């Protein structure tokens, strides 16, 4: 693990720790003697190191924000005693079935990593929000905004004073959107991100995985890549269905087309192209035709 971004005690800013798995970024927002941990992960050792970075110089972690309930994002929520746990209502109110699937997914990864985490529980959320919540950390306001699309429970964190936008699993791999729920809301979420970047002069985008995006132009370019991807995918799929392709054939054909369009071989990660195609097909009504 490495600190990609650090802010000295007393100052305002971000602390970003890169984890060993999935290019995962644990993100802290610090101001004065306070800190907020956003989606702290991934292994207990990494969470502990992240906590130490946040607590440097006597800062206290008063809040833990969970952007959504995918298992990589909720792993560290219990590590900050006394901190208020904040998440969308869709995370807090998740039903028993989905909770079990999330915990089973986490246990599988723990096994693979050799992590012992017997005391882990699904997050107990102290403060839930429906659409929007402003949270104070030191002298900073954090604007939490519900933005489903990646999952049905995803939110993002905007810190206007830092011109920073924490996009959770949006913009983690521009040009290969990670849509794990529905395509249309995913696109709407990206249009909202575009609005936030433009209207609030966002200069730093910090996704939960992979590279940080610096500068407004780069942020807008990344968002536009995601939107262009779905536009091309929709168009290609519609054409294939018009020609009478079965859903399965259209899905495979479109995934190949999207990979060729990208012109870069992403290896196994490109499986996400099929997944995205499936999600668009479900909307086009292709799901019933086969
Ligand atoms: Zn996710």
Q: What is residue 160's DSSP assignment?
A: G
What is the distance in A from the centroid of ligand 1 to the CA of 210? Answer: 13
Give the pLDDT band of residue 1 (cuts 50, 70, 90): confident
Q: What is the DSSP string of 173-210?
A: STTS---SS-HHHHHHHHHHHHHHHHHTT--EEEESBS
Residue at 282 is within a domain = no
* pLDDT tens digits, 134-186: 999 999 999 999 999 999 999 999 999 999 999 999 999 999 999 999 999 99
* pLDDT tens digits, 269-280: 889 999 999 999
> What is the domain range of residue 84?
2-231
39: left (phi > 0), else alpha (psi -120 to 50), else beta? Answer: left
Residue 46 has pLDDT above 50, yes or no: yes
What is the distance in A from the centroid of ligand 1 to the CA of 278? Answer: 18
Distance CA 211, CA 181 (A): 23
What is the distance in A from the centroid of ligand 1 to the CA of 272? Answer: 13
Determine the pLDDT at residue 288: 46
State what percent of residues in the chain have pLDDT above 90.
94
Determine the pLDDT at residue 290: 38
Residue at 265 is within a domain = no
Residue at 164 is within a domain = yes
User: Who has greater pLDDT, 284 or 259?
Assistant: 259
What is the distance in A from the centroid of ligand 1 to the CA of 239? Answer: 30
- Taking the model in full, what pTM does it have? 0.95
Residue at 155 is within a domain = yes
Determine the pLDDT at residue 284: 86
Residue linked to tokens 């995601």: 226
Average pLDDT, rounded, for the chain: 95
Give the pLDDT band of residue 268 (cuts 50, 70, 90): confident
What is the distance in A from the centroid of ligand 1 to the CA of 216? Answer: 24
Find the CATH number of the domain harbouring 126: 3.60.15.10
Residue at 218 is within a domain = yes
Residue at 269 is within a domain = no
Name the domain count of the chain. Answer: 1
| Protein residues near ligand 1, an ion, with CB under 5 A | 70, 169
Residue at 280 is within a domain = no
Give the pLDDT band of residue 114 (cuts 50, 70, 90): very high
The residues, any chain, with a CB within 8 Å of residue 111's CB and separated by 6 or more, are none
Give the pLDDT band of residue 289 (cuts 50, 70, 90): very low
Residue at 238 is within a domain = no
Count of beta carbons in the 10 Å neighbourhood of residue 272 = 18
What is the distance in A from the centroid of ligand 1 to the CA of 156? Answer: 12
């Amino acid at each position: 693990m490495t600190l990609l971004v650090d802010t000295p005690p007393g100052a305002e800013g971000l602390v970003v720790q890169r984890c060993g798995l999935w290019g995962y970024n644990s993100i802290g927002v610090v101001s004065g003697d306070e800190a907020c941990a956003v989606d702290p992960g991934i292994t207990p050792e990494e969470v502990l190191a992240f906590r130490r970075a946040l607590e440097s110089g006597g800062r206290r972690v008063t809040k833990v924000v969970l952007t959504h309930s995918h298992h990589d994002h909720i792993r560290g929520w219990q590590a900050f005693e006394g901190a208020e746990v904040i998440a969308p209502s869709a995370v807090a109110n998740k039903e028993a079935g989905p909770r079990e699937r999330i915990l089973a997914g986490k246990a599988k990864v723990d096994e693979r990593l050799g992590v012992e985490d017997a005391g882990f529980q699904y997050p107990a959320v102290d403060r839930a929000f429906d659409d929007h919540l402003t949270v104070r950390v030191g002298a900073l306001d954090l604007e939490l905004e519900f933005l489903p699309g990646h999952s049905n429970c995803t939110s993002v964190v905007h810190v206007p004073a830092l011109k920073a936008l924490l996009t959770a699993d949006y913009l983690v791999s521009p040009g290969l959107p990670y849509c794990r729920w529905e395509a249309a809301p995913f696109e709407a979420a990206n249009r909202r991100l575009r609005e936030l970047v433009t209207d609030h002069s966002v200069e730093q985008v910090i996704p939960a995985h992979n590279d940080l995006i610096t500068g407004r132009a780069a942020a807008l370019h990344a968002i536009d890549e995601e939107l262009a991807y779905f536009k091309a995918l929709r168009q290609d799929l519609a054409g294939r269905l018009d020609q009478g392709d079965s859903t399965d054939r259209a899905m495979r054909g479109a995934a190949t087309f999207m990979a060729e369009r990208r012109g870069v071989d992403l290896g196994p990660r490109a499986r996400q192209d099929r997944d995205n195609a499936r999600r668009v097909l479900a909307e086009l009504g292709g799901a019933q035709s086969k």
